[in-house]
Amino acid sequence: MNTVDSLQWRYACKKFDKNKIISTEKLSIIKEAFNLTATSFGLQPIKMIIIKNKKLQAELTTHSFNQQQVATASHLMVLCIDKDTTPQNIDASFDREIAIRGTSKEVLADFRKHVQESFASKSIKEKQLASTSQAYIALGNLMTVCALEKIDSCPMEGFISKKYDEILDLESKNLKSVLLLPIGYRADDDFMSKLKKVRKPLSDIVIEL
């Protein structure tokens, strides 16, 4: 199955088969895909919490407007952002590049200064909005990789972030939950899997100049 066929196969799964569990090997691919997602300036102001504890999933369902895909998924991915992009975060990113690529500090000095000044001029809210944009990039990447690996998923914004943050103790990790991605394998009786995909014609959504 090619990439387009895989994307045609993908849909927002509303009911997972709770008896089908994603293998360790497949989960490793998903973790790598998250880590390899492109982010602005390469700062990676995002983290992913992977939940497989069914009691915890059931508890979180209550704070997800009782959407059952949270409870029935093999794993629940909670995409989080750093509550603040600090000068220390930025320095750590540049130091990592120096260590891995062997780039000299002098070569990166002006760029490092530019990034530091750019974030210094932003409010906490502006930085969180910027980081949330990066989380959406990761979400799209994960959904595509899941489709290629024949894993079902359901992107979700409908949950009470504050409750998730409390239950998962994200405050202590300086994190804020922004998106959910339950993953697993579709139930045979999920009516959504039988519906035709509805999209605009390419001529209405792609402009070529």
Per-residue pLDDT of the chain in tens (209 residues, 90 and over written 9): 799 999 999 999 999 999 999 999 999 999 999 999 999 999 999 999 999 999 999 999 999 999 999 999 999 999 999 999 999 999 999 999 999 999 999 999 999 999 999 999 999 999 999 999 999 999 999 999 999 999 999 999 999 999 999 999 999 999 999 999 999 999 999 999 999 999 999 999 999 99
Q: Give the tens place of pLDDT for each residue, 21-73.
A: 999 999 999 999 999 999 999 999 999 999 999 999 999 999 999 999 999 99
Report the amino acid identity of residue 178.
Answer: V
pTM, two decimal places: 0.96
Structural domain count, the chain:
1
DSSP letter string, 153-169: E--B--S-HHHHHHHTT
Helix/strand/coil for 203 = helix
Enumerate residues 6+ apart whose C-beta is below 8 A from 209. none
Q: Which domain holds residue 96?
A: 3-205
CATH number of residue 27's parent domain: 3.40.109.10
Provide the CA 153 distance to its chain's centre, in angstroms.
11
What pLDDT score was predicted for residue 1? 76
Give buried/exposed letters for 5-18 (b at 16+ CB in 10 A, else e). ebeeebbebbbbbb
Burial class (CB in 10 A: 0-12, 13-18, 19+), 153: buried
